[in-house]
Structure 1
Amino acid sequence: METVSDVKTRVYRFGNKTADGNSKMKNLLGGKGANLAEMSAIGIPVPPGFTITTEVCTEYNELGKNKVIKYLKEDVKKAIKNIEEIMGTRFGDPENPLLISVRSGARVSMPGMMDTVLNLGLNDEVVSGLVKKTNNERFAWDSYRRFIQMYGGVVLGMKPVTKEDIDPFEEIMEHLKDKRNIELDTQFTVQDLQDLVYDFKDAVKKQTGHDFPLDPWDQLWGAIMAVFDSWNGDRAIYYRKMNGYPADWGTAVNVQAMVYGNMGNNSGTGVCFTRDAGTGENVFNGEYLINAQGEDVVAGVRTPQQITKLGSERWAKLAQVKEAIRAADYPSLEELMPSIYSELYGYQEKLEKHYKDMQDMEFTIQEGKLWILQTRNGKRTGAAMVKIAIDLLKEGQIDEKEALMRIEPIKLDELLHPVFDPKGLNKDDIIAQGLPASPGAATGQIVFFADEADKYKYTILTRIETSPEDLEGMNIARGILTARGGMTSHAAVVARGMGKCCVSGAGALKIDYKNRVLRVDGKEFHEGDWISLNGTTGNIIEGKVPTMEPELSGEFAEIMELSDKYRTMKVRTNADTPKDATAARNFGAEGIGLTRTEHMFFEVDRIRAMREMILADTIKGRKVALKELLPMQRSDFEGIFEAMQGFPVTIRLLDPPLHEFVPHQLATQKELAEDLHISLAAVKNKVSELHEFNPMLGHRGCRLGITYPEITEMQTRAIIEAALNLKEKGIAVIPEIMVPLVGTVKEFVAQEQVIRSTAQKVFKERKDTVEYLVGTMIEIPRAALMADRIAEHADFFSFGTNDLTQMTYGYSRDDAGSFLEIYLKEGILTSDPFEVLDQEGVGQLVRMGTERGRNVKSDLKVGICGEHGGEPSSVEFCNRIGLNYVSCSPFRVPIARVAAAQAAIS
């Protein structure tokens, strides 16, 4: 009996202006396959092919290679036959060969998951047939050596022996170039290429122990299985983890008829963007190479040429990068092949209007005929993302809601980091010029290998060219610098996707991996030396360059205004100082959701008084010390209230255990004893007395306030007096006093009574009042369960999801690192629960606490103030369950504003 698994459609064909799929099927066909089908259906010249679905990848991981091939065999044969009929060629036929390409294609773009395999189907017999058919011996043998090189690396796993070595195939070619005294691949003779083919085969046999596969069908199945294997390769796993993509998505496989950019000087290949992926500027741009295949452009083996005349100011800068070689040596495609350029320009316009977004396209010119190999929504920097969304809105291509939905909130983080201060830039310190591949500013110490990117605190990964294996190091480094490659190289595309500063194609750099040295213009820079990169200009600068803070302006400000128009949930900030509060207000915060008062006690002029209070044996002694702290706390609160200008400010009473404030080093204990005129033994005894086996579950939070109510009295007085002082200045203040770590109703009531009685005393003394609220931080699971009882007394709830996550899971935030990595790798957890709110577990406590609290008090104000308050998926959850606000760090406020707007729209 046939199962569903036997009859499902696994292979979708496209080509000749027809297609089985469309662009809405990205989950099934992957982004690449869905777009190939869509382009074919709307009349774009796409080489015919077929897509094996992402579901087959899942089957492969569950059932293994043999069963998957059994399921696929007949469908793949039929799909290959369809390509043969359209192209008029036959797969594996020496007289009239069909050659194909094999590429991966997940539902989202994952640069470097698996490299492309081109020219699949070549062997010793077929290459001879290709020579006869094309009458181009050089092209045929060049294609063959490329195929062995790609297949050997991608499918057979050929790699450098050590990291100081280069790719084994590249090493063979470099040796031949030295022997022949040539520099470029295009200078190889036919005999050179034939020699390379045989040398490559020998290298494969030597490293793998097996002959290079010569049967085209064996080659095809090997490539298909390699794509599926790549889904669970280290690179893909790291990329998924970095972006939060689920492991069960799988990748599709795309098989296409080959078209050739390396058939002579009327052929070529390139990559182009409908808009500038770095800045968002509405200018068609890209790079191409004559007599080359697609991987040559992105791999950086040759310096590519620009597609367009260098018309705009930014693109004109690229002319300066060509090592002072005349621009005439680098003609644009627009100048060299005007009719092809015109056709390509028309397709880019058509595709951007069709998809209503900036497109990243790959193309090949085969003997004067243009083919479009791929289109996708282009990866872009945060700045470009914002500008493109606003520009498309103004052009009428999308509406306001769609413009907001186009924003990846987390990428806004790129716009919130410092940029180089022009005053600190010295032109004499510029050591070289590269391509401005990904904007931003980066200062760091040179490292030459990706696995050493964490060698120093701030690093600049400096490579001849990057490869997919460098992904983790690229993510760790502050900036990326390459000697080869253009604006569409691997380094450039991946860096833009990460929002990482990158300068590529700095041809003046000479990088010596073995000796770990960078040479440029007579100077040497060694590993560990400081350099700076300006990803906006392409400048490479010696030493450190000072930075300055960014501003919310231009299109960024417009996105923020749109966000505020559509969101319904407020966004507050976590801020402990007037400086942080002011920064958050500038980023649009509508109040403070968490001020941690304990941070104020650690300053040099305050820690002594705090320690005196802790060491006091009597209430009287503690009150003397607290009286010294009172004006300091009051002054802090005044500064924060003033910065917030009438927005609510939630102040958490003292939370951490007292042992955190006392000295633990003998020398510091001696100083304290002398300062307070007490014995060293008394200090040591107190420190020992405060020691707890599990302090995070010990004497802290409201337990401190109940044990030492005089602490709560002092802090309440400081808050209320500060509010009254500002009221006298005509500044509105809305204080919200928060009791931490409540687990029982009586704990809250006990602290509430101290707070309210103290406030009444101050009002009586000052003959004035202010409105204030008393609420609690829900961070213990029992508090969520008892929320209805607590709400009878509390004015507001604030969910402290950091501790709530810790206590719900039973994971220590400080110690979970020893196993969390394994849990994430093994799929036990899909994300770090301290970074992304666990909606199924912790989230249900938040939902339950909110519902129970509001059942008693319908107008109960509820928010969260844990780190999750600035994480987009967590913000969406908070909006969905009806919280009044989220609170996050100042620099995440814009992210939360957009995420809240998107949640409201969704």
Structure 2
Amino acid sequence: MPQTVASLKPLSIHATGAVDAQVFGARGARLARLAALGLDVPQALVYPPKLVDAIADGAEITWPDALGGQVLALRAAPQEAEWGGPESLLPIGVAADTLDHFIATRGEVEALRLQLQCIRNLGAAVSGATRNSIAPPPQSGDSAADLHHQIQTAREAYQAETEDAFPDTATGQLRAALRHMARGWHSASARILRAAKGAPEDAGLAIIAQVLVPNCRTGRLQFVDQSSGQAQLVGYVLQDGKEHPLSELSARECAALKALEAPLTRGHADACRVKFALDATGKPWLTDVRPAQRSARATLRIAVDLAKSELISREDALLRIEPRSLAEHLHHQIDPDETRDVVTTAMPASPGAATGRIVLSAQAAMAAEAQGEAAILVRHETSPEDIRGMHSSVGVLTIRGGMTSHAAVIARGLGLPCVVGAAELRLDMKARSFRGPKGRIFSEGDIITIDGTSGEVINGTCKMIAPDLGGPFTVLMSWADKVRSIGVRANADTPTDARAARSFNVDGIGLCRTEHMFFEPERITVMREMILADDAASRAEVLQRLLPMQRADFIDLFDIMRGLPVTIRLLDPPLHEFLPHEPDELEHLARVMNVGIDDVRARAAELAEVNPMLGMRGVRLGITMPEIYDMQARAIFQAAVAINAQGGAPVVPEIMIPLVSANREVELVKERVDAIAAAVQAETGSSFAYKLGVMVETPRAALRAKDLAKSSAFLSFGTNDLTQMTYGLSRDDAGRFMRDYVQRGVFAEDPFHTLDLEGVGELLVMAARRGRDTNPDLVLGLCGEHGGDPAAVRFCRLAGFDYVSCSPFRVPIARLAAAQASILAERGAALK
């Protein structure tokens, strides 16, 4: 028995009162909002989900009185647009019992064209046949006689396909159309498709029956340019089946469309795009509204403009921007309309895009720069020896490595586009080329483009969009700084890095990796002499030559960052990283040291370790070769004295000891650093303050933070190594299988890309609590690459950290994430 639907009636979108999207569907709710704003919307009724379910079960319906004498369009309106739904059906309602009315009001030819389209479209939907198998589309020159013949043929085709007569009443057509759409929503395939898109099992469908504007031209329009976000009428109007630019409309019609912008923007507190119909008089009727399509850059401009117009608050403007999207403002990006010949896709290690000639060595990169040519440095993986070449390149591509590999970390610091872990490429250094998938070969000198935002390696050149750091970007960042309550420092290793960081309005330097100061050509050889020295006395002698170089660097850093804290990490990497690998460099070093090449090789062999990342590095160097840290401490203090002598805010250096596991390590280093400080003060007759802290990179350091806090003014968490050691993963090699692990659900995300809150995060919280139990004034920071991860920034604020530190070009991302964390926390507190 058909269900009774006496208590279930279609609802008018023009009814007053609150509109529930669960009843009206997303599109119905949008139409109701347009009507509530007083805008012209064609009359429409919404069949709510319960009524649609009843129709699917066979409930009888009648033609609604409110829509009598009109041609209708039926459109699906699920609660969430992404759930999909049956295709729209239109026109509906031109049948034997209404044809005379439409002939009288629209003319015979137009009425017959509508009737033919009705049979053609509804017939194809109900029967499952194609439209053309029911009837070809009507032509502009068809006469009334032609159309009568086509209608009769279409009726016969429909009956042949369905073994039933085409409904010859308006109510019959509406019933058939509604039933087809309702049952289609409940089909097994439709259920599976929307379940895959996250819809609940009992998701309902509303159906909109809307009057079709007679003799109209339809179109689409938005009021901002989707690339820039600047105010502009963008869209088209359909006429004779073709899209025509809005510029072909009359001045009166354009003005009528332009007049819609203000009420739409005010009513939705956003830039909008609309579907519209222009009637015979040129009046626009709105049939749908959505947020305007926009790029990341346009999103920022729109949010700022809305806040300036006081349509939304500054806080809401900040919350509307995805922090990572700021990368599109900071770096060159490939034009979204550009066609890409993608060679392979790997890990997007540093955002931005660059085009250049392939070079396979640091020397080749420097030579290309000298000749004014852009170069993409391609390596199996980079090492400290490649830093000079990275400085000379416009982008870096490596075959191995992950998000915290050497190439990734350095590239982010330099603001270079970088793609790592391109395992599908086979690099052949002898042939000076690499082979890609499908046997494609690229030789040194060929031009490629890399997209560090998407991880794509692309053949040839691509049109680029330049960075945009002015106007709305600057305004938004100033708003972010006014509300954030956690500091954002930069990882900066050189004066160049520090200047870049300062331009991004940082709160100081949270990590200066001093090893990166030694790779300039005039320094690396001296550093290697020190490493290969036979004893402490010989090392100390060479270190005296490095002292003025280090001091000059620190003077520059302190000067650039004047008034802001600077955290300097003492030498961390294993010494083998500084040694040459190429035969010509080994021979050069032997000549400089005036020893035989075999002696150099033998000394290098003595320093070799099975697992150097867990060997003689970090604080272990400072304890076993204390003269190295002595030199660095002296250089730091002498630089502080030099800057303080110039007046202004005094420099208070923050010296950080890397890779600590036990408090005794801190005590041993602290004794020598304190002694060096006293010596420099005595030698110069100057006094200065300084802080000594620990870089927490080992799980044991996190567990024993209560002990470490006794000797430390601050704890800074190096989450790159802490993640590596907590998981037992090599951050340089994990990229080979990490994608499989994420796809199979072993890890929700790459833990080197997004901070692992459950494991590593628990260590951070535990260490923070234990450290401050011992020392309530203990300063807490995070200086790993996770410092630029928005989720990690929010976590650090909740955990009571004082600051995060990240690569200079990720500083704006961290500043915005910090502001959002503060806003959300305050709003959460207000709700309580």
Matches of 2:185 and 2:227, distance apart in 1: 33
Cα gap change, 1:268 to 1:79, in 2 (>3 Å)? farther
2:586 equivalent to 1:669: yes
Match in the other structure for 1:270: 220
Cα gap change, 1:773 to 1:304, in 2 (>3 Å)? farther
2:717 equivalent to 1:799: yes
2:654 equivalent to 1:736: yes
Q: Is the 8 A contact 1:103 1:255 kept in 2?
A: yes
- The alpha carbon displacement at 1:649 in A equals 0.4
Q: After the TM superposition, which of the residue ranges 588-597 and 363-372 deviates more from structure 2?
A: 363-372
Cα gap change, 1:393 to 1:656, in 2 (>3 Å)? same
Letter in 1 for 2:708: I
Q: After the TM superposition, which of the residue ranges 365-374 and 659-668 deviates more from structure 2?
A: 365-374
Matches of 2:533 and 2:795, distance apart in 1: 46
- After TM superposition, list the pairs within 5 Å mapping 1:205-604 onto structure 2: 256-257=207-208, 266-273=216-223, 275-282=224-231, 285-291=233-239, 302-306=242-246, 330-332=247-249, 335=252, 337=253, 342=256, 348-365=261-278, 371-417=285-331, 442=334, 447=339, 458=354, 550-551=468-469, 553-604=470-521
- The alpha carbon displacement at 1:449 in A equals 5.6
Q: Which of 769, 791, 801 does residue 851 from structure 1 map onto?
A: 769
3-state secondary structure, aligned to 1:288: strand
Q: Is the 8 A contact 1:280 1:388 kept in 2?
A: yes
2:19 equivalent to 1:16: no
Give me the identity figure in percent.
Answer: 35
Describe the superposition over 1:298-357 as per-residue Cα deviations: whole angstroms up to 9, x where unpaired: xxxx54422xxxxxxxxxxxxxxxxxxxxxxx423653x47xx63x65654333223322
Matches of 1:830 and 1:30, distance apart in 2: 32
Match in the other structure for 1:60: none
Describe the superposition over 1:731-779 as per-residue Cα deviations: whole angstroms up to 9, x where unpaired: 5322111111112111222222222222222222222122111001112
3-state secondary structure, aligned to 1:734: coil
Q: Which of 67, 75, 84 does residue 101 from structure 1 map onto?
A: 75
Cα gap change, 1:114 to 1:814, in 2 (>3 Å)? farther
User: What TM-score comes out, normalization by structure 1 length?
Assistant: 0.63
- After TM superposition, list the pairs within 5 Å mapping 1:574-653 onto structure 2: 574-653=491-570
Match in the other structure for 2:819: 901
Matches of 1:794 and 1:263, distance apart in 2: 79
Q: After the TM superposition, which of the residue ranges 584-593 and 557-566 deviates more from structure 2?
A: 557-566
Q: Which of 746, 753, 758 does residue 835 from structure 1 map onto?
A: 753
Cα gap change, 1:288 to 1:738, in 2 (>3 Å)? same
Letter in 2 for 1:641: F
- The alpha carbon displacement at 1:543 in A equals 8.0
Gaps of 5+ in 2: 1-7, 104-109, 162-175, 357-394, 396-445, 451-459, 825-832
Cα gap change, 1:692 to 1:641, in 2 (>3 Å)? same
Q: Is the 8 A contact 2:715 2:781 kept in 1?
A: yes
Q: Which of 703, 707, 711 does residue 628 from structure 2 map onto?
A: 711
Matches of 1:745 and 1:797, distance apart in 2: 12
Q: Is the 8 A contact 2:640 2:653 kept in 1?
A: yes
2:668 equivalent to 1:750: yes
Cα gap change, 1:887 to 1:367, in 2 (>3 Å)? same
- The alpha carbon displacement at 1:598 in A equals 1.3
Matches of 2:62 and 2:476, distance apart in 1: 46
Match in the other structure for 2:379: none
Matches of 1:51 and 1:36, distance apart in 2: 14
Describe the superposition over 1:130-153 as per-residue Cα deviations: whole angstroms up to 9, x where unpaired: 99979456567778989999999x
Matches of 1:703 and 1:901, distance apart in 2: 39
Matches of 1:813 and 1:127, distance apart in 2: 70
Q: Is the 8 A contact 1:795 1:861 kept in 2?
A: yes
RMSD: 5.1
Q: How many residues align?
A: 679
Q: Which of 777, 796, 800 does residue 878 from structure 1 map onto?
A: 796
Q: Is the 8 A contact 2:218 2:278 kept in 1?
A: yes
User: What TM-score comes out, normalization by structure 2 length?
Assistant: 0.68
- The alpha carbon displacement at 1:695 in A equals 2.9
Match in the other structure for 1:318: none
Q: Is the 8 A contact 2:37 2:267 kept in 1?
A: no
3-state secondary structure, aligned to 1:286: strand
Matches of 1:231 and 1:608, distance apart in 2: 64
Q: Is the 8 A contact 1:641 1:723 kept in 2?
A: yes
- The alpha carbon displacement at 1:726 in A equals 1.4
3-state secondary structure, aligned to 2:510: strand
Cα gap change, 1:262 to 1:36, in 2 (>3 Å)? closer
- The alpha carbon displacement at 1:595 in A equals 0.8
Cα gap change, 1:680 to 1:648, in 2 (>3 Å)? same
Describe the superposition over 1:696-753 as per-residue Cα deviations: whole angstroms up to 9, x where unpaired: 3332221222221111111111111111111222353221111111121112222222
- The alpha carbon displacement at 1:292 in A equals 7.4
Letter in 1 for 2:787: G
- The alpha carbon displacement at 1:673 in A equals 2.9
2:71 equivalent to 1:74: no
- After TM superposition, list the pairs within 5 Å mapping 1:192-203 onto structure 2: none
- After TM superposition, list the pairs within 5 Å mapping 1:852-867 onto structure 2: 852-867=770-785
Matches of 1:761 and 1:43, distance apart in 2: 80
Matches of 2:61 and 2:303, distance apart in 1: 40
Matches of 2:219 and 2:295, distance apart in 1: 25
Matches of 2:777 and 2:540, distance apart in 1: 37
Matches of 2:614 and 2:117, distance apart in 1: 69
Match in the other structure for 2:88: 119
Cα gap change, 1:623 to 1:353, in 2 (>3 Å)? same
Q: Is the 8 A contact 1:83 1:257 kept in 2?
A: no
Q: Please tell me whether Structure 1 or Structure 2 has the larger radius of gyration of its CA atoms.
A: 2
Cα gap change, 1:375 to 1:544, in 2 (>3 Å)? closer
Cα gap change, 1:457 to 1:531, in 2 (>3 Å)? closer
Gaps of 5+ in 1: 1-10, 53-70, 90-94, 108-112, 159-168, 177-183, 206-213, 237-246, 294-301, 307-329, 419-440, 461-477, 479-527, 533-541
